[in-house]
Chain A
Amino acid sequence: MNDLTSISSTALYTAFVVYLIATIFFGATIRDKRTADMTKKGFAGTIAISLTIIGFLAQLVYFFTRWAAGGHAPVSNMFEFVTFLGMSLVLAFIIIYFIYRLSILGLFALPISMLIIAYASMFPSEISPLVPSLQSHWLFIHVITVSLSQGVLAVSFVAGLIYLIKQIDQTIFNKKTLWLEIILYSLIVALGFIITTTTFNAMDYNASFEVPKDGRVVQMDYHLPAIAGPKGGELLTEDKMSPLFNAPDWMQGKDAPKKLNTLIWSFLTGSILYGLIRLVLRKRIGAWVQPFLKNVKPHLVDEIMYRSVAIGFPLFTLGGLIFAAIWAQIAWDRFWGWDPKEVWALITWFFYAAFLHLRLSRGWHGEKSAWLAVIGFAIIMFNIIVVNLILAGLHSYA
């Protein structure tokens, strides 16, 4: 590791911690009486947004020092790309904050951003060399623009989430409260993934299997205890847990059993965590958060949600479709090739186009829009996680 690289990772770590502190201050704004009028900022709010900006600057330091160290913009593998997404969300939040001055947004946007950055750090973080197809300025222009647009669109998710928590009647249990709870639960599962992976990484857990594949025997290393083992695999490492069952046959992809195993662990940890939270709160998480949003004006939140889609959509078109097409034209001789990543960019685009058109009719403002904003973000995350790691086309980063 040289100096730049270590400065870079320290800066990223700093940013993360500063975001955490900023979140606490955003939390304090709820009690700040003056924020009853949400557009006037109080003392806590000022500190919170200042910290957010400091954190963002630290993350910029991470970005540019890593760029200098590697010789290319750090958006070329999963770690770098997802980290950048977290950073884009913070930037988008800062911009929206200065338009609408709504502190509560920070209380939700920053934790989600931290979740994204922590998720990123689960991927190998070494600076990797660029294979020939990635050696293009258009790659960086494309990825950076898409990421920024996704950051802005993520703000609409944040606003949508706030709207739903605030507006959905929590006195009864029905489909709406259930779905809202599922959204919150999935955020906790993401946390479960991070906790599990970090814990076993710290323990240096390793269980090797010998697995028959295409007539040869290959070695597969598990870094989490194997609940779902590779089919026909034989555990080599002593004293390690042997699998409870084997991954099914049809899971053919590279390292599929390992990915399944990780998924099971994430849900396991996430569910335990969720269960504990419920035990403490004695009510749905949504119901517990709702009173804190007493002062929030739903109209304003709805407008922020719509506005961020309005800002994000053109950016997404530019980065996700047009710049992507330019790069694909130069690198692969066709600007569009229907590979899964491209198709999912198109799906995202269709989805937000549908969102905008639905907003033209009155009945779709407010709650319905909020659900759509959540679904939109789910599609974005699907494109980043599932498509990259599982459907994996040309863009496969991992």
Chain B
Amino acid sequence: MDKIKCECGHVNPEGTVLCESCGKPIEENQHIDGNDKTKLLNMRYDGTARRSQTYNRTIIDKTWNFFSSVKVGVMLIIIALIASGLGTIFPQEMYIPPEAENRDPAVFYEDWYGLPGKIYYQLGLYDLYSSWWYMILIALIGVSLVICSIDRFVPLYRALKIQQPKRHNTFLSRQRLFSKTDVVSDEHKKAFVSNLKKQRYKIVEKDGNILAEKNRFSRWGPYVNHIGLIIILIAALLRMTPFLYLDEYVWVREGEQKLIPGTDGEYYIENKRFLLELYDENDERFKAAMERKGQLVHKNYQTDAIIYKAKDNQIVGQEPELEKVKESSIRMNEPLKFDGYTLYQSGYQENEFANMTFKVYEKADADQKALGELTIDLTSPEKTYDLDNGIKVQVTQYYPDYELEDGEPRSVSKFPRNPAFVFNVFPPNSDQGEVSFVGIGKNIDATGENKYKLGILDFEMRYASGITVRRDYTLPLFIVGAAIFMIGVVQGMYWHHRRIWINPKEQGILLAAHTNKNWFGLKKDIEKAIEGTDIQMVIDQEEVEKEA
């Protein structure tokens, strides 16, 4: 190892630019921080030996050096920034609007946006944020900030620990803020120091050399915030595993009880009622806005739900015995939580029938007087209905979502959106049934000789409520990461590391100061502290240099 011994006696590691103890520039290393070209010293990392600036032989060195460059880091950030922007030109795959005729990305983009859309699709920009290259980009930023931080943190920590109040003359005179006062009385010097103390500077004194320092902790801000970022990246990685992150969706109709998917058959949800509320169109406050829009505004989506848990003593193949766990309503912005799961109100559908009421009347009766009524629950119609007056109605076919395809009746889904029936009506005390077909807007007498007819008297619609089921064990990690990031970033941004060196020189003193940001504040500190003394105010040598 080529350790470097400074004239002050301190032994510095290889690659040191400014002696860790006294700050004297180490001649052969001045090119590293560019000090050979400027009057002022580059104080970024106090001239410490950084691995990346010292070794460049092996492939490991080279990789390390590549990632520890802030320029590379910034380039990666800029690339990520531009890439992210590209993904917002057209909607991402998951935001293809529901009204699109064809939501297949291969068709949609060209359909809606023409050639640019087609190119967008072919470049894969429609699913940019989960593409492998985008993830690699983000990962590279992560690698870069880890390496970069280690490269700087360790030596900086060392240097700030080792630093001595006595500084080399060159070090002092090449600071941005510097002044030399030829004659200073002890009294004034004391007053100066005690003023600095009042401003919460920590004073270290050695043989009349003084170092006044404050807010060193703010220097660790960037490292703390980078740790926060890494935690967030790790959390994002973990979130891709199904064990830690559950995302399911379930439709529950009013009055229906359903297994909550993703809970291993353990939990059930019952939808007691779905509520869609609108703002009162006469509401004084919002009248003007609603009139301009010309439509009613939704106020509330709410599912009144009961959560059940299956009891442990289940027998396979049998309906499980359920135990009520929670009864509550789920609203947008007010999800329901139980045992680590969270249920969100995510959607609703209004286009389903809950039940239909029919009346039976004689075809020949012009008044269509009801001979009897029956109400059919559309999720579980019964086989036969016995009416009061002895008529029996048998349901021979039920099409929940009726459609005629090639002359054949069929049901396109199992949801009662367009129910239709084939009934067999038995007159009192008769086994001779009459077949008829009844649906919405349809009433067909199969033989044309029926005596009885069925008509729709009434129906009830019901809502289906769309509920997202989430369990996310990575959330705490995200929260911790974000909190650490915030702490670090505030620590580094709202406090500033300030150092003032006062070294005696003959009858007077040399005064120099450095801060990592907010020079204006540092100058004000010094100005206040030297008030009433003969000590010269520091000169901002950078400003002088620029203006010259």
Contact = CB atoms under 8 A, between A and B. Distances in A.
Given A127-B286, A335-B478, A391 B346 contact: no
A357 B95 contact: no
A314 interface: yes
A299 interface: yes
Contact of A330 (B71, B285, B335): B335
Nearest to A1: B288
Interface in B499-546: 517-520, 540, 542-543, 546
B292 A126 contact: yes
A100 B298 contact: no
B343 to A, nearest CB: 9
Contacts of A344: 85, 88
Contacts of A99: 520
B77 A129 contact: no
A313 B44 contact: no
B297 A126 contact: no
Contacts of B300: 132
Interface residues of B, number: 65
A357 B520 contact: no
A331 B81 CA distance: 27
B482 interface: yes
Contacts of A357: 70, 73-74, 77
Nearest to B287: A126
B364 interface: no
Interface in A316-332: 317-318, 321-322, 325, 329-332
Interface stretch (B47-55, B155-163, B441-449, B486-494): B486-494
A355 to B, nearest CB: 9
Given A129-B286, A133-B332, A347-B85, A313 B77 contact: no
A132 B331 contact: yes
Interface residues of A, number: 62
Contacts of B73: 357
Contact of B84 (A126, A330, A350, A353): A350
B247 to A, nearest CB: 8
A350 B80 contact: yes
Interface string A369-382: 00000000000000
Contacts of B284: 2
Contact of B298 (A132, A317, A335, A362): A132
Contacts of A318: 486
B259 interface: no
B333 A314 contact: no
Contacts of A297: 543
Interface string B272-297: 00000001000111101110100001
Contact of B285 (A127, A329, A351): A127
Interface string A331-368: 11101011110011011001101100110111000000
Given A310-B517, A322-B486, A333 B88 contact: no
Contact of B289 (A69, A127, A330, A350): A127
A333 B34 CA distance: 52
Interface string B34-60: 100000001010000000000000000
Interface in A1-44: 1-2
A387 interface: yes
A322 B228 CA distance: 13
A24 to B, nearest CB: 28
B468 A333 contact: yes
Nearest to B117: A250
7 contacts: A99-B520, A126-B292, A127-B288, A250-B116, A299-B540, A325-B478, A344-B85
Given A333-B342, A343-B129, A354-B78, 20 more contacts: A100-B520, A126-B286, A126-B289, A127-B285, A128-B297, A129-B286, A129-B290, A136-B333, A297-B543, A310-B494, A311-B494, A322-B486, A325-B478, A330-B333, A331-B332, A350-B80, A354-B81, A357-B70, A361-B70, A362-B42
Interface of B: 34, 42, 44, 70-71, 73-74, 77-78, 80-81, 84-85, 87-88, 91-92, 94-95, 112-114, 116, 129, 279, 283-286, 288-290, 292, 297-301, 331-335, 342, 344, 346, 468, 470, 475, 478, 482, 485-486, 489-490, 493-494, 517-520, 540, 542-543, 546
